[in-house]
Amino acid sequence: MDQRFKLICKKPFTIKHLGDKIKVHTHNIEDYENLEKFLKSNKINYYTHALKIDKPRLAVLKGLPSDVTLEEIIDEVKSKLPSAFDCSRMNTTKTNDKYPYHIVKFSPETTFQAILRVSPSLQYESLLGKVQTQKQ
């Protein structure tokens, strides 16, 4: 099997034998994709982690009032940066109380610089204004 991997991967890679399993770590996307195609075409069972470039970017918003809905938050974030696609509240693991922290997910193509440029304008004043208007 090691010899086959050498034919598939053009650049150096690491391989570890773990009992009845093999762990292969490629160092570039092209080799990763070639290896994955090889495993699929030969019907070899395998497991892979998501590539870093495929994972969504995450941002944590702090200090928002607990009565702001997730829909209001994602709408506000999308108005500033349309690549946002999900928002959730962070919960404690012990008591399941809701923290005033929210996680916003952005598409993988979104740069951290773009998120940082927008984040100061996402402070809770604009969202707090919406909540206070609804209460009146």
State the residue for tokens 């070639």: 34
Q: Please tell me which residue, 62 or 119, carries the higher pLDDT value.
A: 62
Tell me the CATH architecture of domain 54-135.
Answer: 2-Layer Sandwich (3.30)
How high is the pLDDT of residue 131? 43
Residue 133: is its pLDDT beyond 50? no
Q: What is the overall mean pLDDT for the chain? A: 79
Nearest Cα to Cα of residue 98 among 77, 72, 73, 67? 67
- Give the pLDDT band of residue 134 (cuts 50, 70, 90): very low
For residue 83 the two structure tokens come to 């690549």
pLDDT tens by residue, 56-77 = 998 888 777 778 889 998 998 9
| Average pLDDT of the residues in 112-127 | 69
How high is the pLDDT of residue 130? 46
First to last CA, the chain: 70
pLDDT tens by residue, 14-60 = 878 888 888 888 888 888 888 899 889 989 888 888 888 888 998 88
Give the burial string for 24-41 (b: 16+ CB within 10 Å, else e).
bebeeeebbebbeebeee
How high is the pLDDT of residue 95? 59
pLDDT tens by residue, 84-103 = 999 998 876 665 655 678 88
How high is the pLDDT of residue 47? 84
